[in-house]
A and B are shown apart, each in its own frame.
Chain A
Amino acid sequence: MLALQILIDGFAISALYGLGAIGFTLIFGVSGVLNLSHGGIMVIAAIAAWAIAGDLHAGTYIGSAAGVLIGLIAALVTYGLVVRPIQRSRAIPRDETEIFVLTGTLLWGIMIQEAVAYFFTDNPVTVVPLISGVATIGGVRVPYNEIMIAAICWSVIGLLWLLVNRTRAGRALLAASINPRGLTLLGFELSSIYLLVWTIYGVLAGLAGVLLATFLGAGSANIGQLTASAFSIVVLGGLGSVSGSLLAAYVVGYLETLTAYLVAPTLRTIPSLLLLVIVVYLRPQGLLGRR
């Protein structure tokens, strides 16, 4: 009974973590960018969905869709306004681009957080679930919304897999993550590849944000936490490795749920943090990462 409960509860939250992290790792894999405004973009999507669904009385469906769209826009703005200029800048030495991208996106994240808090307070908000009500699985009560979230996450992940492995654009994307120069020599414009990957990222982050808002609720106060958790999950799984991030998401998700159930809710995050430290020391490239 308890085991089943843990199994079920851990599943949806892990799927959500995964969805949030995949885009993050994808960008790193393809363009070597760690986007520390990640949490901000998720929350923008969440708040937008809430505001449009609620204040503008557009209803949950339109609201959620709009939220994802706005998340996408936010991601593209981040790329165009912060990341691309830094990558292009002649003044910034190549080997220091990394720290500049980190600082730049950090600052951008802070700006997003302050702006969101200014217009919508820092209170978390929630979007009405697309489906309400609960199902009972083996005596465990599960909200339909939770089931749907898991379903959406996995179908999106499936679609992503198809995109990467079955479409021409996807192959190019994969190739870029392996050898960008080689791709240039084959006549592919890297700039358009980057645009594509940021678009995919935007959709994923937006979706994750909106789902988060229907499931747990989200607000500007969560931004730092969201970024940190995505970052840790991605590093745990191996920077740039999509499957690794998924695995890590589930490890972290279940570790947290287990701790909350079996040890103490106050210690919830500790074990995953320790695990992270251990992994980074013993296997810096992460669970499925390659060096």
Chain B
Amino acid sequence: MSQRFLAGAPFAALLGLAAGTALVAPAWAADPEPIRIGVIAENQAIGGVAITNAAHLAADELNAKGGVGGRKIEIIEYDDHSSSADAVRAFQRAVNQDHVAAVIASYISEVVLALEPWAARLKTPLITPGAASNEISRAVHDDYARNKYTFHGYLTSSFLAQAVCDFSHDILVGKLHMTSTVVMSEDAAWTTPLDDTSLQCLPEAGLKVLDHIRFSPDTTDFTPLFNQIEAKHPDVITTGISHVGVQPTVQWASQQVPIPMAGISSQATTTSFWRDTNGAAQGVLVDENAAPDVAVTPKTIPFATAYAKRFGITPGYAGYSAADDVNIIAEAVQRAGSTDADKLVEELEKTDYVGTYGKVAFYGRNDQYTHALKYGPGYITTLVVQWQDGKQVTLWPENIANGKLTFPSFIKLPQPHAAQ
């Protein structure tokens, strides 16, 4: 139990871990101690379970290849019920009890922001595969010495908005000759920078923003919203939704709102979305970091197929990034030759890894979004899929498109034949 006594002392994590390794090393001489990675997410949530599943899948694949430098990867999962308080306790357990090398946590900005100071306090690398708020990387940028342990393993809201704008420019304006839109976002922290950027870049992309509607995330009746939007007669609705998804989509379809929806809709990124909406998703355009059947990188399809084979549904948007995070942590440990937090951080900053949906690399301490994923050609880009008869058909970027635009009959496009 000496290990425990030490664990109580200052710098609990490091000393405890060191002592632990030192003490138990002989016993495990035959089989070197595994690299433990904590995964904190709510498994009752589609977005959350994708993280846990993907992490397990990635770890097993690595272990199948003999692990990292002979050391196996061990995933320890914690359910946080999407509560920041619960997540903090889970993080403490991960670090002080289970002595993990790093933690992959949550897709909810509130939770990640609550964990950020604890990553600093317990000096343990933290990567979020799904949260979008710019605050995460801003904190790192503003107080690097303290917060350098946090990495933003998913695109910041601003980049997501940029992606939507690029797509709008190429397809909505370029192909469908649309000229106007209404921005509809849930009133949440992650959508503030999202909307700031899109309000600025949509006009540049050629879509006049007729109105900007933010609604409470616990809204259940969307009729008034759609009616308000329709009254403005836009050619398209640019969505920014994550807490909600099923409900607006279903009501959009059942009320036969004649305007297409395109943009961010996190819940719409998994196959279960089709079931939950009973197919109301037909024709909805969603910006995703990857699609199961599109070879963004050589790893995409193998991963997606393996995932679908094992868990029955396609990986949610955070699934791809979670899988990559496991790999980059593993590589960082290997390069660092230890699980020392500061060394790990250095190595993680050097990350240059071709993942399941693009090349993973983080911005440096002097960039605006420190420790955020690099976005753009050659790094991470996103693609846009459309729900068609239960499948996600990729339409953009065109070089990887594998289908054609079609909309349900109630949709009225600017020029009826533009789609052809």
Touch between chains A and B, by CB atoms below 8 Å: yes
| Residue numbers in B under 8 Å from A220 (CB-CB) | 44
Q: B225 touching A126 by the CB < 8 A rule? A: no
| Residue numbers in B under 8 Å from A219 (CB-CB) | 246
Q: B220 touching A123 by the CB < 8 A rule? A: no
A54 at the interface (CB under 8 A from B): yes
Contact of A143 among B247, B255, B272 (CB under 8 A): B255
Contact of A217 among B44, B218, B246 (CB under 8 A): B246
Q: B227 touching A125 by the CB < 8 A rule? A: no
Chain B, Cβ-Cβ closest to A267: B216
Interface with B: A70-78, A164-172, A194-202, A257-265, which one? A257-265
A283 at the interface (CB under 8 A from B): no
Contact of A9 among B218, B227, B247, B256 (CB under 8 A): B227
Q: B267 touching A123 by the CB < 8 A rule? A: yes
Q: A121 touching B277 by the CB < 8 A rule? A: no
A285 at the interface (CB under 8 A from B): no
Contact of B49 among A9, A121, A257 (CB under 8 A): A121
Mask for B242-285, Cβ within 8 A of A = 1, else 0? 00011100110011100000000001000010011110100000
The smallest beta-carbon distance between B370 and chain A, in angstroms, is 31
Contact of A129 among B45, B218, B254, B276 (CB under 8 A): B254
Q: A117 touching B220 by the CB < 8 A rule? A: no
Q: A123 touching B219 by the CB < 8 A rule? A: no
B228 at the interface (CB under 8 A from A): yes
| Residue numbers in A under 8 Å from B110 (CB-CB) | none
Assign chain B's interface to a size class: 20 to 34
| Residue numbers in A under 8 Å from B247 (CB-CB) | 124, 126, 216-217
Q: B224 touching A122 by the CB < 8 A rule? A: no
| Residue numbers in A under 8 Å from B365 (CB-CB) | none
Q: A126 touching B277 by the CB < 8 A rule? A: yes
B297 at the interface (CB under 8 A from A): no
**Contacts A217-B220, A268-B216: A260 and B225 contacting too (C-beta < 8 A)?**
yes
Q: A122 touching B44 by the CB < 8 A rule? A: yes
| Residue numbers in B under 8 Å from A129 (CB-CB) | 254
Mask for B222-241, Cβ within 8 A of A = 1, else 0? 01110110000000000000
Once the chains are docked, how many angstroms separate the CA of A44 from the CA of B381? 41
Q: B276 touching A126 by the CB < 8 A rule? A: yes
Q: B45 touching A123 by the CB < 8 A rule? A: yes
**Contacts A123-B45, A123-B272: A216 and B267 contacting too (C-beta < 8 A)?**
no
Q: A266 touching B216 by the CB < 8 A rule? A: yes
| Residue numbers in A under 8 Å from B251 (CB-CB) | 216-217
The smallest beta-carbon distance between B310 and chain A, in angstroms, is 17
A134 at the interface (CB under 8 A from B): yes
Q: B246 touching A126 by the CB < 8 A rule? A: yes
Chain A, Cβ-Cβ closest to B213: A265
Within 8 A of B (CB), among A93-151: 117-118, 121-129, 132-134, 141, 143, 145
B187 at the interface (CB under 8 A from A): yes
The smallest beta-carbon distance between B387 and chain A, in angstroms, is 15
| Residue numbers in B under 8 Å from A126 (CB-CB) | 246-247, 250, 276-278, 280
The smallest beta-carbon distance between A250 and chain B, in angstroms, is 14
Contact of B227 among A5, A128, A256 (CB under 8 A): A5
Contact of A118 among B44, B256, B278 (CB under 8 A): B44
Once the chains are docked, how many angstroms separate the CA of A268 from the CA of B216? 8
Q: A265 touching B254 by the CB < 8 A rule? A: no
A sample of 12 inter-chain contacts (CB < 8 A) reads: A122-B45, A123-B45, A126-B247, A126-B276, A134-B255, A141-B255, A216-B220, A216-B221, A217-B250, A225-B220, A260-B215, A265-B219
6 tightest A-B CB contacts, nearest first: A265-B215, A260-B224, A117-B44, A217-B247, A126-B250, A216-B220
Known: A222-B220, A267-B216. 17 other contacts (CB 8 A): A9-B221, A9-B224, A9-B227, A54-B275, A54-B278, A117-B44, A121-B44, A123-B45, A123-B246, A124-B247, A124-B276, A125-B246, A134-B255, A216-B251, A260-B215, A266-B215, A268-B215
